[in-house]
Amino acid sequence: MIDIEPQVWEMLGRYIGAGLALGLGGLGAAVGMGIAAGQANEGLMRQPDTQGYMLRTMLIGQAVGGSPSIFALVVGLLILFLPSGRLEGAHFAAAMVGAGMSIGLGCFGSGLGCGWPAGKACDGVARNPRHTTSVTSSMVIGQAVAQSPSIFSIVIALMLLFVVTAPDSVLLTFGMFVGAGIAMGAGALGPGIGSGQTASGAVHGTSRWPESAGLILRTMLIGQAVSQTPAIFGMLVSFILLLGVGDVPLGLMGLAVTLGAGISAGFGGIGPGIGSGAVGDAACQATAAKPRLDTLILRTMLIGQAVSQSTAIYALIIGLLLLFVF
Amino acid sequence: METSTIMSLLNMVATQTDAGITNETLISASSLIGAGICMGFGAIGPGVGQGYAAGKACEAIGRNPQEAGLLTRTMLIGQAVAESTGIYSLVIALVMLFVIGG
């Protein structure tokens, strides 16, 4: 038997947690900003006269789309330098790794998602420079909503850093904290990407048919709200794991139940989030082209999104069965 | 890796409060965590695929609203077929929970 010192556990947790937070959390925003810059270049190639508007739109899009990576930076620094008073040793390490998972995966999705509307906005400025204002405002609203999954993941990461209390069993603690981090982080990944796709469809539609901007905004907000349900499922399971686990078994069985529930509810939300976002993207563009068909398109969008969420509901059921039946 | 090696690793992490880890607990614990992995990853594909189908249906209804009924029906059939692998994952997860794990 090797005994690992508590300080070594704490360092291990800090380094892995901060690495996950910044490594994953920075990745999405970086790709997203690159998409925006790429589209700006493509637009300027076609319309060099629009460079004043283009620079402004690109920078606003990148600044808003970059905020998930700043959230990840702040939480990453907290993970590295937070004094370990409340939790100690391996328990502290588990909380840090869980917080890193939550913020890293959650900010990855929103950062990537915010890049597409920024790119489409740059494309739209080149296409239709007179409507720069309506395109930019549609982009900012879409990006702001696409960031809410990353805000959910901050809540869970901060709870792991400042609020939670750990049971004695190390294996159960590890399952609870890392499971909650995976449930929230992976659960926010798909909705972040999906809401961004919906926003990109709306920005594209607004740039081509600025007169239907109001209807497009409505379709976009409904589509984004529905595509964020898997993130809510993930947050629900994280809250249960962090606050409300009643009598789960201790030891290895506790680890299996809690980590399994987190993986199921979290990863199960990725596909439905992305899929519902793709529906919203197509629906926004269709509404833009044919505003008089908006009710019919909205109905089809909602049916399609509801069906594509069914697997997220199965995953939630398996997660809750693991937590409450075993 | 032999089971005994895995168990000695797990026993190393477990504290005094954790019950000793035996072969039976290792098997049920693996099947429970396997159920979570099975349903979690199995849900990704159907979600993306069904969303893609529904997106195309919205696009098509925007172009040809007269055929909305036919397009919605086709979308739902396509989504039902895409759902099948999600249902396989659900069945396997339930088997792992209640037949092996319980």
CA closest to B11 among chain A residues: A1
With the C-alpha atoms ordered A57, A59, A61, A64, is the resulting torsion angle positive or negative? negative
Give the model's pLDDT for residue A29.
93
Q: Which residue ranges form the domains of chain B, and what is each CATH number?
A: 30-101 (1.20.20.10)
Sort out which chain B residues have CB atoms less than 8 A from A171's CB and list them. 10, 13-14, 18
Please indicate whether, in this complex, the C-beta atoms of A264 and B34 are within 8 angstroms of each other: no
B78 inside 8 A of chain A by CB: no
Give the model's pLDDT for residue A221.
95
Report d(CA A62, CA A36) in Å as an integer. 7
Complex ipTM, two decimals? 0.87
Furthest-apart CA atoms within chain B: distance in Å: 70
Helix (H) or strand (E) holding B47: helix B44-63
Average pLDDT over residues B57-64: 92
Chain pair A-B, CB pairs under 8 angstroms = 228
Contact A235, A157 (CB under 8 A): no
Average pLDDT, chain A: 92
CA torsion, ordered A203, A208, A212, A213, to nearest 10 deg? 30
Domain ranges of chain A: 6-325
Give the model's pLDDT for residue B54.
94
- Nearest Cα to Cα of residue A165 among A100, A242, A96, A85: A242
The C-alpha of B99 sits at a distance from chain A's nearest C-alpha, in angstroms, of 13
Sort out which chain A residues have CB atoms less than 8 A from B19's CB and list them. 250-251
Q: Which among A257, A262, A271 is the nearest to B47, CB-wise? A: A271
For the segment A24-64, what is each residue's pLDDT rounded down to a tens digit?
Answer: 999 999 999 999 999 999 999 999 998 888 999 999 999 99
Among A176, A300, A326, most B C-beta atoms within 10 A, so best to mutate, is A300
Please determine, for residue B76, whether its predicted confidence score (pLDDT) is greater than 90: yes
Give the model's pLDDT for residue B12.
65
Sort out which chain A residues have CB atoms less than 8 A from B21's CB and list them. 251-252
Please determine, for residue A205, whether its predicted confidence score (pLDDT) is greater than 90: yes
For the segment A96-113, what is each residue's pLDDT rounded down to a tens digit?
Answer: 999 999 999 999 999 999
Distances (CA, A) of A276 to A193, A219, A312, B9, B69: 10, 13, 11, 42, 21
pTM: 0.92
Give the model's pLDDT for residue A89.
84
A114: which 2 tokens?
């915010």
What residue spans of chain B are helical by DSSP H?
3-13, 23-42, 44-63, 68-95
Please indicate whether, in this complex, the C-beta atoms of B48 and A278 are within 8 angstroms of each other: yes
Phi, psi angle pair for A228, to nearest 5°: -95, 0
Which residue's entry shows tokens 């979308």?
B75
Please indicate whether, in this complex, the C-beta atoms of B79 and A308 are within 8 angstroms of each other: yes
Please determine, for residue A1, whether its predicted confidence score (pLDDT) is greater than 60: no
| Residue, of A200 and B2, whose pLDDT is higher | A200
CA closest to A326 among chain B residues: B102
Burial B39-57, CB ≥16 within 10 A → b, else e: bbbbbbbbbbbbbbbbbbb
Give the model's pLDDT for residue B23.
79
Contact A273, A228 (CB under 8 A): yes
Give the model's pLDDT for residue A85.
78
Sort out which chain B residues have CB atoms less than 8 A from A301's CB and list them. 54, 58
Neighbours of B22 (CB within 10 A): 10
Q: How many residues does chain A have?
A: 326
Average pLDDT over residues B41-45: 93
Distances (CA, A) of A205 to A60, A139, A194: 19, 11, 17
Q: What's the DSSP call for residue B94?
A: H
Give the model's pLDDT for residue A158.
94
Please determine, for residue A3, whether its predicted confidence score (pLDDT) is greater than 90: no
Q: Which among A190, A256, A261 is the nearest to B29, CB-wise? A: A256
Please indicate whether, in this complex, the C-beta atoms of B51 and A251 are within 8 angstroms of each other: no
| Residue, of B1 and A225, whose pLDDT is higher | A225
Which of A163-172, A232-241, A281-290, B28-37 has the weakest average pLDDT? A163-172
Which residue's entry shows tokens 């209804």?
B61
Contact A268, B39 (CB under 8 A): yes
Sort out which chain B residues have CB atoms less than 8 A from A282's CB and list them. 54-56, 58-59
Give the model's pLDDT for residue A188.
95
- Please report the residues numbered 29 through 68 in chain B whose beta carbons come closer than 8 angstroms to any beta carbon of chain A: 29-30, 32-37, 39-59, 61-63, 65, 68
Among B33, B70, B84, most A C-beta atoms within 10 A, so best to mutate, is B33
For the segment A267-323, what is each residue's pLDDT rounded down to a tens digit?
Answer: 999 999 999 999 999 999 999 999 999 999 999 999 999 999 999 999 999 999 998
Please determine, for residue B34, whether its predicted confidence score (pLDDT) is greater than 60: yes
Give the model's pLDDT for residue A237.
94
Contacts of A189 (CB under 8 A, 6+ apart): A105, A106, A108, A109, A149, A269, A270, A273
Report d(CA B42, CA A311) in Å as an integer. 8
Give the model's pLDDT for residue B9.
66
Give the model's pLDDT for residue A276.
95
Give the model's pLDDT for residue A249.
78
Q: Give the burial class of A13: count Cβ atoms within 10 A of its Cβ; 0-12 exposed, 13-18 middle, 19 or more buried.
A: buried
For the segment A63-108, what is each residue's pLDDT rounded down to a tens digit?
Answer: 999 999 999 999 999 999 988 878 888 899 999 999 999 999 999 9
Give the model's pLDDT for residue A2.
58
- The CATH number that domain A6-325 falls under is 1.20.120.610
